[in-house]
């Protein structure tokens, strides 16, 4: 019985470890897709000046968007002026500060003229590049470590029980 319990604890700690690692991967992927969106928006605003609702819809249609639900949330936040902040349940993988930064950018999106808007998007693109590097390096350093640590915690608990 004790052995079965130990095996379950180790499996559980492995699942938790993988979940935590997945959080890093999701965050990394999301930022890459956000950068893709910003680049897409820049081109569309520069050449066709389509409205934001249309821009989002076109992006969803043309690109293989993995974070559709998350981008829908950003679109709703942007279009509904009454919505005060992004839903943290949908963007759970981001830290509060990261969500806040995205909110600040999108709150001002669409409120400027063409050249100003493009300048703003270019600036944000650079910011996202830096963020992606940061998130990637955090992921690389931590993913193996967290998984091992999680397993180690499971093993320690098992030893204590045994």
Partner 1 sequence: MIYRLLPQEINNTLINYDMKKIQEIRLRRNAPVVINYQGKNCVLKRMSGGEPVFVTKEMIEYVLKRATENSLYAYNNQIKQGFITARGGIRLGIAGESVNSDKFMPTTIKNINSINIRVPHEVKDCSAFVFNYIYSKDYGIKNSLIISPPGAGKTTYLRDIARKISGIEDKVFNTLLVDERFELASTLDGEPMLDVGMYTDIVSGASKEFAFSNGIRVLRPDIIITDELMSEADVDACINAVNSGVKVIASIHANSISELKERQGINKILTARCFERYFLLSNKNKVGECISVYDENHKCIYF
Q: How far is the CB of 37 from partner 1 (least distance, A)?
A: 15
Q: Is 79 in the site for partner 1 (CB under 8 A)?
A: yes
Q: Measured between alpha carbons, how far apart are the two ends of the chain, in Å?
A: 11
Q: Which is nearer to partner 1, 85 or 114 (CB)?
A: 114
Q: Write out the binding residues for partner 1, residues 103-132 only, by CB under 8 A.
A: 109-114, 116-117
Q: Which is nearer to partner 1, 55 or 135 (CB)?
A: 55
Q: How far is the CB of 45 from partner 1 (least distance, A)?
A: 6
Instruction: Enumerate the H helices of 80-113 as residue ranges.
Output: 96-108
Q: Which is nearer to partner 1, 10 or 50 (CB)?
A: 50
Q: How far is the CB of 84 from partner 1 (least distance, A)?
A: 14
Q: How far is the CB of 128 from partner 1 (least distance, A)?
A: 20
Q: Which of 78, 94, 128, 158 binds partner 1 (CB under 8 A)?
A: 78
Q: Which of 23, 25, 50, 155 binds partner 1 (CB under 8 A)?
A: 50
DSSP class of 64: -
Q: Virtual CA dihedral for 52, 57, 58, 64, nearest 10 degrees?
A: 130
The residue behind tokens 């999301």 is: 30
CB atoms within 10 A of CB 112: 12
DSSP class of 113: -
CB atoms within 10 A of CB 60: 15
Q: Which of 2, 3, 61, 81 binds partner 1 (CB under 8 A)?
A: 81
Q: Return the closest-CA partner of residue 142 out of 27, 21, 23.
A: 21
Q: How far is the CB of 109 from partner 1 (least distance, A)?
A: 8
CB 121 within 8 A of CB 38: yes
Q: Which residues bind partner 1 (CB under 8 A)?
A: 45, 49-53, 55, 78-79, 81, 109-114, 116-117
């Amino acid at each position: 019985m004790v052995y079965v319990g130990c095996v379950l604890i180790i499996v559980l700690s492995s699942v938790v470890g993988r979940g935590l690692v997945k959080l890093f991967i999701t965050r990394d992927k999301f930022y890459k897709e956000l950068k893709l969106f910003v680049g897409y928006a820049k081109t569309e605003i520069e050449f066709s000046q389509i409205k934001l609702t249309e821009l989002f819809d076109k992006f969803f249609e043309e690109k293989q968007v993995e974070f559709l639900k998350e981008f829908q949330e950003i679109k709703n936040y942007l279009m509904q002026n009454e919505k005060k902040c992004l839903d943290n349940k949908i963007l759970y993988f981001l830290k509060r500060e990261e969500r806040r930064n995205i909110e600040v950018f999108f709150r001002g999106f669409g409120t400027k003229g063409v050249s100003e808007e493009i300048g703003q998007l270019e600036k944000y693109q650079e910011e996202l590049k830096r963020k992606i590097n940061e998130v990637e390096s955090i992921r690389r350093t931590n993913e193996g470590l967290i998984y091992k640590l999680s397993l180690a915690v499971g093993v320690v608990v098992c030893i204590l029980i045994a």
